[in-house]
Structure 1
Amino acid sequence: MSEQDNNSKGFIGRFLSLPTDSVPKTIFVAVAVCLVASMVVSAAAVALRPIQAVNALKDKQINILQVAGIYDPNVDVLEAFAAFEPRVLELETGTFTDQFDAASFDDRAAADDPATSIALDNDPAGIVRQAKYVTVYLLRDEAGDLDKVIMPLHGYGLWSTLYGFIALEENGNDIFGLQFYEHAETPGLGAEVDNPRWKALWNGKKLVDENGTLQISVAKTAPAAGADYHVDALAGATLTSVGVHNLVTFWMGESGYEPFLQQLKAGTL
């Protein structure tokens, strides 16, 4: 084919006349496949986002039910979760606020928003910013009296931020349970925070002593305050255990829920 005939075909014609295994056609096919695949993945992600959000919310609700000790796999999650009374808590004052709708308030979004969070200078939990408001969940008994309060907490472990809940008895001091619903700690080591045997160690432990001093600890040895304030560290997961200790003591301390717990104990809420 003469150069004049080849030029008369135009760019597309010249491209189509190339051998199938030519470099331009190989690159074209590779790029086209990548574009189509990315469009399919993007479309699927957008289409599945509402389902993922619903599943994430359901998983969170199951964890709240579990840490409160009332989860039953044979009972509908939404039906069981209706037993809780969600309230938005202002951490600084330790009082509930009606400024936000508790059913839709997003704790994580609040922590990222400068209008509803503060940057931390003293940050033992490694969370960088702390929301001024969080959602707590009240569980009442059949008589309408407070039975348990479930509070969210989070902090950095070895590889990831651990998000979870702590359940306290109505006295605001005795721990009923602690568990995490999201983290990326090492399987078989730090991920043992999910081990039922380790989670069971938290039941019955106390936060503060008779003098009101925060004593709860996660360590290899019990503190001077005694076994009532001690949870054994995870074997082979020192840094994750330190992270859990730091996040629990941070959130249960004066920078976290202490103002709320004081009012809870005083019965002023």
Structure 2
Amino acid sequence: MSSSNETITKTLTVVISLCLVCAVIVSSAAVMLKPAQKINKAADMQRNILLAAGLLSEGENAAAKFKEVVDVKLLDLNTGKFATDRKAADFDYRAAPRDKEISIALDAKDDIVKIKRRSNIAPVYLAKDNGKLSSVILPVYGAGLWGPMYGFIAIDPDATTVKGIKFYEHKETPGLGAEIENPKWVASWVGKKLFNDKGEIAITVQKGGVTANDPQKMYKVDGLSGATLTSNGVQFIFTFWLGEQGFGPFLQSVRNGELTHG
């Protein structure tokens, strides 16, 4: 009996030791890889920002291009002014809504994007061409059919005309809602007007398509066929983030010629 117990004890000792060694190896690998993962994540985000604005050619280095043409600023959404007390490089926009010190809970009637909390601080990306503003790129997100949809919208310096959009993360159905990534649909946004002459949000994702003779077609984008809920989600995203709860006050200041690089 004693010999049997010793065998079980030895077996358990070996198993536990092996598990501890494996845990140490996995933990060490995770720690070692974290800096590289952070760099890759930042590079991928920079790539999506540039693609939204049509600023990245095939084969170009995204990180180098981004550094060359884009300034990152943090915006106080409550005032529409740049926040100068924080560094953009250290700011995690995706985590910010969970920080109650810099975010607010949204009333259900206002939360059309179903995000529950909104950060008071948000990054904006100012692309330049020969020192002049060429695009304002804004991060936007909200609920889709199966989960959140994250993207960017690039706007001309008039703060009204769409230069491009890019949805880079979502869980929409392939062939249906996932068509938000379809180059043809993405291209249909280019040149559309976000606001009417009164400064009111006018962009509409229209179910049933947009006819060529529609006098309001400059404000309309075809809805996605067979993906009404995704199309609605996209509409809500732009309605929310272009409005008073989002980047609306900032875009108004751009239209008024008040933008300073600071």
Both proteins in one fold, TM over 0.5: yes
Q: TM-score, normalised by structure 2?
A: 0.87
- 2:116 corresponds to 1:128: yes
- C-alpha separation between the residues in 2 aligned to 1:81 and 1:184? 27
Structure 2 residue 144 is the aligned partner of structure 1 residue 150: no
How far is 1:101 from its partner? 0.7
Letter in 2 for 1:256: G
Change (3 A) 1:49 1:120: same
Q: 83, 89, 103: which is aligned to 1:97?
A: 83
Match of 2:65 in 1: 80
Residue in structure 1 matched with residue 254 of structure 2 by the alignment: 264
CA offsets 1:95-154 (integer angstroms, 9 cap, x no match)? 112111122221112221001110111200111110101110111221x22211001111
Shift of 1:185: 1.5
Matches within 5 A, 1:216-227: 216-221=203-208, 222=210, 226-227=216-217
Cα deviations by residue, 1:22-58 (Å, 9 ceiling, x for unpaired): xxx8x99999987776665554444333222221111
Which consecutive unaligned segments of at least 5 residues does structure 2 have?
none
Deviation, 1:187, is 1.7
Instruction: Specify the SS of the correspondent of 2:88.
Output: coil
Closer, same or farther: CA 15–170 of 1 in aligned 2, 3 Å: closer
1:253 alignment partner in structure 2: 243
1:109-258 matches, within 5 Å, as 109-121=95-107, 122-142=110-130, 144-221=131-208, 222=210, 226-258=216-248
Question: What secondary structure sits across from 2:122 in the alignment?
Answer: strand
User: What amino acid does structure 2 have at the position aligned with 1:100?
Assistant: R
Structure 2 CA distance for aligned equivalents of residues 14 and 171 of structure 1 = 76
Cα deviation, 1:70-111, whole Å, max 9, x if unaligned, reads 102332222200110111111111111211112222111222
Higher Cα radius of gyration:
1
Is the aligned partner of 1:12 residue 2:6? yes
> Given residue 86 of structure 2, which amino acid in structure 1 is its aligned partner?
F
Q: What is the aligned residue count? A: 253
Cα distance in structure 2, aligned partners of 1:30 and 1:72: 53
- Secondary structure of the 1:107 match is coil
Using the alignment, how far apart are the partners of 2:16 and 2:148 within structure 1? 37
Tell me how far apart the structure 2 counterparts of residues 29 and 202 of structure 1 sit (CA, whole Å). Answer: 62
- Give 3-state SS (helix, strand or coil) of 2:171's partner: coil
CA contact (8 A) 1:215 1:225 kept: no
CA distance in 2, matches of 1:241, 1:31: 53
Distance in 1 of aligned mates of 2:222 and 2:24? 49
Distance 1:28 1:14, change over 3 A: closer
Q: Retained in 1: the 8 A contact 2:53–2:165?
A: no
* Residue identity (%): 43
Task: Verify: 1:51 aligned to 2:36, yes or no.
Answer: yes
Q: Which amino acid aligns with 1:47?
A: M
The aligned amino acid for 2:135 is K
- Partners in 2 of 1:102 and 1:14 — Cα distance? 57
Conserved? CA contact 1:219–1:242, under 8 Å: no
**2:94 paired with 1:108:** yes
Tell me how large the CA RMSD over aligned residues is.
Answer: 2.5
